[in-house]
Amino acid sequence: MAENIPIEEYLQQISHATDIIQSKINANPAISKPRVMIICGSGLGGIADILNPKKKIEISYSQIPGFKTSTVQGHAGKLVFGLIGENEVPVMCMVGRLHFYEGYTFQQTTFPIRVAKELNISTVIVTNAAGGINESYKPGELMVIEDHINFPGLAGWHPLRGPNLESFGPRFQPLSDAYDHELRKLFVKTANNLGIKRPIHEGTYFFAAGPTFESRAEVRAIRVLGGDAVGMSTVPEVIVARHSGLKVFALSLITNAGVGEKPPSALHENPKALDEGMASHAEVLETADEASKDVQKIIESMVNEL
């Protein structure tokens, strides 16, 4: 696996990417100073469709030095700049995120967050598709993330590992305030005002590196550890965003229910098939597509207030 590049080279990449992006969006003064970054999770790339089509600029990751390529279905791999809502809030949508399991380092997967900070963005909204660990969660429901468990980080795979970027944040970053309370309240209030009937939970997101979906025993273990939903993204981005001084709101769309029952026994008759309830990426995308309209409505109205 590739190692982090030297810190000075990394900072130069951030600066170069920022300059390239700024030169492109300066062509439209209305969107040249984005305030909010929205990271679109699996199947949620349609969030970018709520931007005003008349004032929108798209930039492929391949056009930006330092940006890597999204390789996962449902992740387009482009930045979309535009305006949201009646208040015309300038935003940057990241349509297609980068994952550790794709073979990228955390330094590479969180690179766009550092660039967002250099663009003077102040708020990051992170969305993802996640598996339901809490047995009361059903596919299609939403979970506002109030806390997380960085499982790879506990084992040493941490996005802030290595020399600290002093110009961004402290060596020892507190995370007890990672998920902004006011933004979480605003999301719930907005959903209620819009009359959204889709159930909304608040819980803890468990970050697993992937790319495999969890085994039955792992689902049971995550429950014991306190995870309500599990996914393969978000936490590295949140940590780097907080290290950069950005406010964070994060949302999980529950796309499948984790299977935690023990597998059918080979010693006794069991009517359940081994593949019953098994997760698939196709299921994730299908569920995300069904719920995406509600998510888009809430995000649009929420961002309009920022």
Catalytic site residue from 17, 94, 129, 302: 129
User: Is 304 an annotated catalytic residue?
Assistant: no
For residue range 213-258, what is the model confidence (pLDDT) as tens digits? 899 999 999 999 999 999 999 999 999 999 999 999 999 999 888 8
Q: Is position 146 annotated as part of the catalytic site?
A: no
102 has catalytic annotation = yes
Note if 281 is an active site residue: yes
Note the pTM of the prediction, 2 decimals. Answer: 0.93
Q: Active-site residue among 232, 241, 250, 291?
A: 232
* Residue 6, pLDDT above cutoff 70: yes
The single residue of 37, 48, 70, 75 carrying the catalytic annotation is 75
pLDDT of 284? 62
Confidence of residue 262 (pLDDT cuts 50, 70, 90): confident
pLDDT in tens, 149-208: 999 999 999 999 999 999 999 999 999 999 999 999 999 999 999 999 999 999 999 999
Sign of CA dihedral 206, 168, 16, 24: positive
Q: Where are the beta strands (DSSP E) in the chain?
A: 36-40, 57-60, 78-84, 89-95, 123-132, 142-150, 200-207, 229-231, 247-257
- Residues 28, 88, 101, 202: which is the catalytic one? 101
Taking the C-alpha atoms of residue 232 and residue 37, their distance in angstroms, rounded to an integer, is 20
What does the block give as tokens for 126? Answer: 């992170």
Quick check: 75 pLDDT over 60? no
218 as an active site residue: the answer is no
Active-site annotation holder among 70, 150, 233, 244: 233
Q: Give residue 264's pLDDT band: very low, low, confident or very high (50, 70, 90).
A: confident
Question: How confident is the model at residue 48, as a pLDDT?
Answer: 84
Please state, in angstroms and as integers, the Cα–Cα distance from residue 147 to each residue in 71, 150, 184, 204, 239, following that order. Answer: 28, 10, 12, 5, 11
Q: Above 70 in pLDDT, residue 37?
A: yes
CATH 3.90.230.10 fits 7-303, yes or no: no
- Which of 70, 102, 150, 288 is flagged as catalytic? 102
Burial class (CB in 10 A: 0-12, 13-18, 19+), 284: buried
In the annotation, is 99 catalytic? yes
Give the DSSP per-residue string, 142-206.
Answer: EEEEEEEEEHHHHTT--TT-SS--TTT--SS---TT-S-HHHHHHHHHHHHHTT--S-EEEEEEE
Nearest alpha carbon to residue 90 among 12, 36, 17:
36
Predicted confidence at residue 12, as pLDDT, reads 96
Q: Which of 128, 256, 292, 301 is catalytic?
A: 256
Residue 173 burial (CB < 10 Å; 0-12/13-18/19+)? middle
Candidate list 17, 48, 92, 99, residue with the active-site label: 99
Active-site hit among 10, 42, 61, 229: 42
256 classed as catalytic: yes
**Which residues, in sequence order, are CB contacts of 58 under 8 Å at separation 6+?**
78, 79, 80, 81
Mean pLDDT across 137-142:
92
> Catalytic residue at 75?
yes
In three-state secondary structure terms, 113 is helix
Q: What is the pLDDT of residue 56?
A: 93
Taking the domains of the chain in order of start, what are their residue ranges? Answer: 7-303
Phi, psi of 229 (to 5 degrees): -145, 155
